[in-house]
Chain A
Amino acid sequence: MTAGLDNLKHIVVLMMENRSFDHMLGGLSLVTDNGAKKYPKINGLTGNESNPDTAGKVIKVQPNAKFQSQLDPDPDHHFPGVDLQIFGGAPPGPGRIPTMQGFVKDYFTQTKDMNRSHNIMSYFTPDKLPVLSTLATEFAVFNGWFSSIPGPTICNRAFAHYGTSFGQVGMDVFYVLDPIPSIYERMIQAGHTAKIYYYDQQSSTMEIVNLLKNQPEIFASYSQFIADCEVGTLPEYSFIEPCYNDHPGPGGGEILASDQHPDHNVQEGEKFIARVYNAIRTNPILWESTLLLIVYDEHGGIYDHVPPPICTPDGYSAKPSDTETGEAFNFDRLGVRVPAVLVSPYIPMGTVVPGTENVANGRVFEHACIPATVTNFFLKGDAKRTVREKKADAFLDFLSDQKRPDADVPYFKLGGK
């Protein structure tokens, strides 16, 4: 066991919304230093990745992503749309190859505008995202963290809480009928502590109805998270939700959505990530005993070049009428790749976790890895869970023996231009 693991007392997960890896972090691969790639291990963009548009024109990735007003209407990320994005329109059936060639075509079905459909190939240069880019290069970034399902928010978030979506691939209200307890139930029943922190009551929670309905005691607000960080009362496991809508604040102020879901402002999301990081970072005891994972629930319909791999099924099947592709889905393939960054003072600077690009040593992560890691660490694996979760990789082995000095790790100063 390393010193980092010995000191670990808290795992915190911040789950953002609807951005792909290449869109947010792919530009890191194009950064050079004295003519050489500065981050050669990151599996980002070469600049030559492309998709055909509906006229057959080749549209390359473009470093022109905007903070807001570019991906409106909201790109399709429901099951049939993502199927088109991944398989390029090849009809369902055995032997299909995930070419990642259908993103522009799919966005055209919404925009009905050729030029606007090209926006789906946009990506941010690292200077535009100082928080996520800094954390990715200062700590650990995953080349192969995928959403759990090629589909939308609710079912993907369910994997982060239960290690399964109980056969769901959409956004419908559903009830948990099988005896797979949530990670919060598992922790609390075993005498441990766990919480979901939603931003505020106007933003509320995006987690599945079962949790909110039956377990109100596991919920608290973001302001409580900040207070818990300050006084050292953070639970052993925390899941943080950003703000999901623009709304007036107390006393008439303006509160912006910070989830980064298109078309919400990406810079506000950067500030939110920075605040969560700073809250942990500024309490020295918490800082050295906490592992922070920043991850996105799904890609939001935005281009990524890495084909999602096959995976261990979770024992459920979605009917053709639910997938809307004419074919059942057996939860045997992951969704599109998303940004995932792991933060701790015990993580060596510049850690890159290899993914599917590394045939020999690559590792595949998805949201079922979250309850798997928490269960393995706090509960020694003792819980009823799906085969999918049991086989999911854990993300604890990146904690080293060496704690980095405070002056060596970043601090974010918020505000201004």
Chain B
Amino acid sequence: MATPSKVVHVPDPEPGAYNPNRLAGKLLQSQALHLREALIKHMTELAAVISVDPRSLKTEGDFGNYAKKATAILHTHAAVSSGR
């Protein structure tokens, strides 16, 4: 990038602007509801996989199906925790 001639200074907010104790508004309350709804699907998926007794799996197809569901859930969690 060539040296810009139009440098615009952007000031910081005043000290004290940070307030994690500010009461959450309707937007954040709605966001939490939406996140909860999204989680329910994962709980259902997780519960469905956990409820399967691995000893009940007989065929390679059964194992493949089980592994696919388990891996998909684990992969999602791994992706999130590694910041991807």
Query: B-contacting residues of A (Cβ < 8 Å)?
Result: 17, 67-68, 74, 130-131, 134, 138, 152-154, 171-173, 201, 204, 206, 208-209, 212-214, 216, 220-221, 223-224, 244-248, 254, 256, 261, 263, 265, 267-268, 270-271, 274, 281-282, 284, 287, 405-417
Query: A-contacting residues of B (Cβ < 8 Å)?
Result: 1-14, 17-20, 22, 24-28, 30-31, 33-35, 37-38, 41, 76, 79-80, 83-84
Which residue on chain A has the smallest CB distance to residue B14?
A67
Q: With contacts A263-B22, A413-B10 known, is A244 near B38, CB below 8 A?
A: no
Asked whether, in the complex, the Cβ of A224 is within 8 Å of the Cβ of B83, the reply is yes
**Contact among B6, B17, B20, B26 with A410 in the assembled complex (CB-CB below 8 Å):** B6
Asked whether, in the complex, the Cβ of A417 is within 8 Å of the Cβ of B76, the reply is no
Bound Cα distance from A351 to B14, whole angstroms = 33
The smallest C-beta distance from B72 to any residue of chain A, in angstroms, reads 10
Asked whether, in the complex, the Cβ of A406 is within 8 Å of the Cβ of B1, the reply is yes
Mind listing 10 A-B residue pairs with CB under 8 Å? A74-B26, A131-B8, A212-B35, A244-B31, A245-B24, A407-B4, A408-B5, A410-B7, A411-B1, A414-B12
Q: With contacts A130-B8, A245-B28, A271-B10 known, is A209 near B34, CB below 8 A?
A: yes
List of B residues within 8 angstroms of A254 by Cβ: 18
Q: With contacts A74-B26, A204-B35, A408-B6 known, is A416 near B12, CB below 8 A?
A: yes
List of A residues within 8 angstroms of B84 by Cβ: 220, 224
Bound Cα distance from A359 to B1, whole angstroms = 41
List of B residues within 8 angstroms of A209 by Cβ: 34-35, 37-38
Which residue on chain B has the smallest CB distance to residue A406?
B2
Bound Cα distance from A209 to B19, whole angstroms = 27
Asked whether, in the complex, the Cβ of B80 is within 8 Å of the Cβ of A201, the reply is yes
List of B residues within 8 angstroms of A281 by Cβ: 1
Bound Cα distance from A94 to B37, whole angstroms = 38
Asked whether, in the complex, the Cβ of A67 is within 8 Å of the Cβ of B10, the reply is no
List of A residues within 8 angstroms of B17 by Cβ: 67-68, 256, 265, 267-268
Bound Cα distance from A201 to B31, whole angstroms = 13
Additional 16 contacts, C-beta under 8 A, given A153-B27, A256-B17, A407-B4: A134-B8, A152-B27, A173-B34, A204-B31, A206-B27, A209-B35, A244-B31, A246-B20, A254-B18, A267-B10, A274-B8, A281-B1, A284-B1, A408-B6, A409-B6, A410-B7
Bound Cα distance from A407 to B7, whole angstroms = 10
List of A residues within 8 angstroms of B9 by Cβ: 130, 412-413, 416
Asked whether, in the complex, the Cβ of A213 is within 8 Å of the Cβ of B18, the reply is no
Asked whether, in the complex, the Cβ of A410 is within 8 Å of the Cβ of B4, the reply is yes
Which residue on chain A has the smallest CB distance to residue B42?
A213
Q: With contacts A173-B33, A212-B38, A216-B76 known, is A246 near B18, CB below 8 A?
A: yes
Asked whether, in the complex, the Cβ of A74 is within 8 Å of the Cβ of B25, the reply is yes
Q: With contacts A220-B84, A265-B13 known, is A405 near B2, CB below 8 A?
A: yes
The smallest C-beta distance from B43 to any residue of chain A, in angstroms, reads 12
Bound Cα distance from A263 to B11, whole angstroms = 18
Asked whether, in the complex, the Cβ of A248 is within 8 Å of the Cβ of B20, the reply is yes
Bound Cα distance from A405 to B30, whole angstroms = 45
Asked whether, in the complex, the Cβ of A154 is within 8 Å of the Cβ of B8, the reply is no
Which residue on chain A has the smallest CB distance to residue B83?
A221
**Contact among B34, B41, B76 with A208 in the assembled complex (CB-CB below 8 Å):** B34
Which residue on chain B has the smallest CB distance to residue A73?
B25
Asked whether, in the complex, the Cβ of B2 is within 8 Å of the Cβ of A274, the reply is no
Which residue on chain B has the smallest CB distance to residue A221?
B83
**Contact among B7, B10, B20, B38 with A213 in the assembled complex (CB-CB below 8 Å):** B38
List of A residues within 8 angstroms of B33 by Cβ: 173
Asked whether, in the complex, the Cβ of A171 is within 8 Å of the Cβ of B8, the reply is no
Asked whether, in the complex, the Cβ of A406 is within 8 Å of the Cβ of B4, the reply is yes
When A and B form their complex, which 10 residue pairs have the shortest distance between CB atoms, in order from nearest? A406-B2, A411-B4, A410-B6, A171-B30, A213-B38, A254-B18, A267-B13, A265-B17, A209-B34, A246-B20
Bound Cα distance from A281 to B37, whole angstroms = 38
List of A residues within 8 angstroms of B1 by Cβ: 281-282, 284, 287, 406, 411
